[in-house]
Amino acid sequence: MPIMRTKDENKKEALFRATIKLVNEIGFASSSVSKIAKEANVSPSTLYVFFDNKEDLLVSTYVEIKTQLAHALLENFDDTLPIRDIIRNGWYSVFNYVSEHPDEAAYMEQFSNSPYSELVDKAVVEREFVPFGNVMVKGIEQKIIKDVDISILAAFIFNPLFRLANPRLCAELEMNEEKLEQAFGMAWDAIKL
């Protein structure tokens, strides 16, 4: 019979949000545990109830975001559609996620370009994206998509997208529906046979 006070998951959520905000504003180097805790209205020591240490906080924040992104990608996933439509849906889903969550996207980019990324269990993260990868394999088999490594295909589909949707990298550029369809057209032209 466990008698215990329950953890307040709002605090974990607040710590995630504080981490994302601070790391985007002042970077990994200046984002101290005490600043993050203060931003989340939590005591520094309380942070250690939810995370083993600072590193664990940063890595967990990344995995949390990446999982959200995977769910967004697979939300409208429909295996029965033509391959181009499946990929188009996925592309738009990711674009929408990145547009609606610019802070999460910026954190993701900053994190994955830093040495912290080596601490992530990649198998766990990539597992979420398998269905989408399978579609590309199917597209190759059906001679619809160029016969190239999946990671090359993914690079052409998603890398420009992240740049375009990221205000830090493309501040001057605001996307509208026309530009968006153009951009997907370019991504598709790159990978289609």
Partner DNA sequence: GGCATAATAAAACGTTCATTCGTTTATGTC
Partner DNA sequence: GACATAAACGAATGAACGTTTTATTATGCC
Residue numbers at the binding site for its own copies (CB under 8 A): 24-29, 31, 106, 109-110, 112-118, 146, 148-149, 151-152, 155-156, 159-160, 162-164, 168-170, 172-173, 179, 182-183, 186-187, 189-192
- How far apart CA 119 and CA 128 sit, in angstroms, is 18
Structure tokens at 167: 């205000």
Query: 33, 44 in Cβ contact below 8 A?
Result: yes
- If DSSP states are collapsed to H, E and C, what string results for 21-65? HHHHHHHHHHCCHHHHHHHCCCCHHHHHHHCCCHHHHHHHHHHHH
Query: 51, 60 in Cβ contact below 8 A?
Result: yes
Number of residues that bind DNA (CB under 7 A): 28
156 binds, among its own copies, DNA, none (CB under 5 to 8 A by kind): its own copies
List the one residue from 13, 32, 119, 127 that touches DNA (CB under 7 A).
32
Which one-letter DSSP state was computed for residue 101? Answer: -
61 binds, among DNA, its own copies, none (CB under 5 to 8 A by kind): none
Could you give the string, one character per residue 11-30, with x where binding to DNA holds by CB under 7 A and - elsewhere?
x------------------x
Residue closer to DNA, measured from CB, 34 or 182: 34
Residues 6+ apart with CB under 8 A from 148: 191
- How far apart CA 87 and CA 69 sit, in angstroms, is 15
Q: Among residue numbers 100 through 139, which ones bind DNA (CB under 7 A)?
A: none
Under the binding rule (CB under 7 A), the answer on residue 45 touching DNA is: yes
Residue closer to DNA, measured from CB, 41 or 142: 41
Structure tokens at 174: 């605001």
List the one residue from 6, 80, 113, 176 that touches DNA (CB under 7 A).
6
Binding region for DNA (CB under 7 A): 1-8, 11, 30-35, 41-50, 53-55
